[in-house]
Amino acid sequence: MLNVLAIASVLLVMPVTTACVSLETSGYREEPVSEVYQDEQYEVTCYDSWNFTGHRRETWVLEPGMRQRLIDFVGWNLNDRISSIRIGYMVGVAMFKHRDFKGPATIYLGSQGRLDMSVNDEFSSLIIFFKDIGEPLGAWLGGTPMSSMDLRNWKLPEDTWFFPLPENGNDTVYEYRGVDEANDKANWVMVSPVTNSRADVGVEVTLFEHDRMRGNSITLPGFRSRDYYFDLKQYDFDHRVSSLVVRETRGSQYFQPRERRRYLP
């Protein structure tokens, strides 16, 4: 069971930093069931009360052939009401404070019978991903600079925006022709996965200074780079991002439709 996600140490004055996420787990589905193809192992169910109860609940499934499941809004029944989350053995979930994957995010790799009071009734969108990858795939942009302590504790600021790769495993590139309220506000970018993922996957992002992929650009992490966090001031690109392109650089075979697989031990 993975309890800590870690990357190298962080210096915000350098283009590279480190991050670590402390993840709570529970006793639900700690071992795989014998019927390894059951959808339940790939499901996430959110409840409006503790201990997987309540009148409001919703279930989403990571289907075969999906890279990740993108839920940009959990619906009015659960918006700002989620208090417990049941997570299948094969998946993890990133929960976002706001719709469309905006604001602080919390990553869970195991079921949560009682959400911490700091995030109880706080979530509005979510992404389901394969547990052996460890996190959603895409690029994070942020406005407020983070300290090394913030990164170690995965304490993302309010002005954080996540731009995911597509759900469909066959679609390896996605163009964000505009970044909405993140326009000209980003001071840093983090390319996910930021951990030493058990799966051989890779992502890069190209940032543009104008909308619709126009103007000067930079691509991160860059050729053969193993870095994941970048202070845009080091590239003279802070407060200049207006559009971006996210690409999968390796791992496309991993998401092709096939028989359900076991979680990598």
At residue 7, the pLDDT reads 38
Angle (CA) 195-162-182 rounded to 5° is 135
Q: In 10 A of CB 229, how many CB atoms?
A: 26
CB 2 within 8 A of CB 109: yes
**Tokens 């009360």 belong to residue:** 49
Q: Which of 30, 7, 11 is nearest to 20 (CA)?
A: 7
Rounded CA-CA distance 25/28 in Å is 8
Among 3.40.50.720, 1.10.1510.10, 3.30.420.40, 2.60.20.10, name the CATH number for the domain at 4-255. Answer: 2.60.20.10
pTM, two decimals, is 0.84
Residue 153's pLDDT is what? 87
d(CA 46, CA 59): 7
Asked if residues 134 and 90 have their Cβ atoms less than 8 Å apart, the reply is: no
pLDDT at 253: 81
Cβ atoms within 10 Å, residue 172: 18
Calculate ∠ Cα 200-197-68, nearest 5°. Answer: 80
All structural domains of the chain with their residue ranges: 4-255
In this structure, what token pair is assigned to residue 58? Answer: 């919703």
Q: What is the 3-state secondary structure (H, E, C) of 23-38?
A: CCCCCCCCCCCCCCCC
pLDDT at 199: 84
- For each of the chain's 265 residues, which pLDDT tens digit applies? 333 333 333 333 333 333 334 344 433 344 444 444 456 899 999 999 999 999 999 999 999 999 999 999 999 999 999 999 999 999 999 999 999 999 999 999 999 999 999 999 999 999 999 999 999 999 999 999 998 888 888 899 999 999 999 999 999 999 999 999 999 999 999 999 887 778 889 999 999 999 999 999 999 997 656 788 999 999 999 999 999 999 999 988 888 776 665 555 5
